[in-house]
Amino acid sequence: MSTQATRQTTHRTEAAKTDNPDGFSPEQVKNLSGVLNALLADFFALYLKTKNFHWHMSGPHFRDYHLLLDDQGDQIFKATDDIAERVRKIGGETIRSIGHIARLQRIADNDYDFVPAHGMLEELAADNKALVQSLRETHEIASEANDYATTSMIEVWIDEAERRAWFLFESTR
Ligand SMILES: [Fe+2]
């Protein structure tokens, strides 16, 4: 085999690996990308709502709640890159814009001028619980595709979302 032929074969092999590293079928890539991108849109929507409430917090517990939501926002944002890169690793395409997020998000925005502190915490607690449900559903789809890396990452995100919901709930009692 000539050097050029060897190079072409290597290139082809690498291209095939990049396209589909874990051997998922095109159908599985489509399904997994679909549910992961919806999840990614939810994470961005929840991130921005958490920061929105962090910025607009008021009342006697301002400092505690302001800092709590800052910590939670950081944790939510950190997951977004992992979700998007997981989609790329399995050979899919991921979110490209704020408009794309708006089309996919299932967690609603809150654009009210004023939201009382308790209302903010209760809404975020409910959103984090809804996120846990979406994560569980995504876990089932990833599990059916034997996508162990995705299921393992999702398990961590479920624990984190449940912790956020717990902190938010206990702060409103
Ligand atoms: Fe801040």
- What CATH code is carried by the domain that includes residue 64? 1.20.1260.10
| Containing structural domain, residue 35 | 24-171
In a domain, 35, yes or no: yes
Residue 45 CB partners (closer than 8 Å, separation 6+): 101, 105, 106, 107, 108, 109
Read off the pLDDT of residues 80-135 as tens digits, 9 standing for 90 and up: 999 999 999 999 999 999 999 999 999 999 999 999 999 999 999 999 999 999 99
Question: Closest by alpha carbon to 77, among 107, 118, 49?
Answer: 49
Is 125 within 8 Å of 155 (Cβ atoms)?
no
Residue 44 CB partners (closer than 8 Å, separation 6+): 80, 95, 101, 105
Q: Which two tokens stand for residue 104?
A: 């996919």
In a domain, 14, yes or no: no
The CA-based angle 89-85-38, given to 5 degrees, is 105
Q: How far is the CA of 165 from the centre of ligand 1 (A)?
A: 20
In a domain, 16, yes or no: no
Percent of the chain with pLDDT over 70: 87
Q: How far is the CA of 68 from the centre of ligand 1 (A)?
A: 10
Concatenated DSSP letters of 46-70: HHHHHHHHHHH--STTHHHHHHHHH
Query: pTM of the entire structure?
Result: 0.87
Rg of the chain over all Cα atoms, to the nearest angstrom = 20
Q: How far is the CA of 63 from the centre of ligand 1 (A)?
A: 11
pLDDT exceeds 80 at position 18: no
What is the structure's pLDDT at 137? 98
In a domain, 110, yes or no: yes
Comparison of pLDDT for 43 and 22, the residue scoring more: 43
Q: How far is the CA of 66 from the centre of ligand 1 (A)?
A: 8
Domain count along the chain? 1
The residue-averaged pLDDT of 38-66 equals: 98
How far, in Å, CA of 68 to CA of 60, rounded?
Answer: 14
Q: How far is the CA of 106 from the centre of ligand 1 (A)?
A: 25
The residue-averaged pLDDT of 16-45 equals: 86
In a domain, 5, yes or no: no
Amino acid at 133: Q
